[in-house]
Amino acid sequence: LLLENQKRILAGTDAGVYITTLKADRWLKWSKGLPLTIISDLETNPENTVVQAATFGRGLYQTLLPEPGKKKKEAVSLEEYS
């Protein structure tokens, strides 16, 4: 899911949700308010402040998106997924 006005990308995976910027070489695991389960679909509101995640067998979750530029310690290298 590309958040064009914030130049960020969200990815729903079988291990939760990950976030990156268009220029970054790392994906950050982002799970605040979301379960660690298979994410089958992601949607945002028009302002890109809230994300809704559809999960496999756990229902629908909604939470606030992290603020652009906010740092997080847990990062995953892109090479780990290539």
Task: For the sheet with 8-13, list strands across it.
Answer: 2-3, 8-13, 16-21, 26-30, 75-77
Q: Which residue has the higher pLDDT, 77 or 15?
A: 15
Indicate whether 70 pLDDT > 60.
no
Q: What global pTM score does this model have?
A: 0.70
- Kindly provide the residue ranges of all beta strands, DSSP E only, lying in 1-82, ordered along the sequence: 2-3, 8-13, 16-21, 26-30, 39-44, 50-55, 60-64, 75-77
Q: Which residue has the higher pLDDT, 28 or 77?
A: 28
Q: Average of pLDDT values for 34-57?
A: 86
Indicate whether 79 pLDDT > 50.
no
Out of 11-25, 34-48, 49-63, 66-80, least confident range? 66-80
- Supply the pLDDT for residue 54: 92
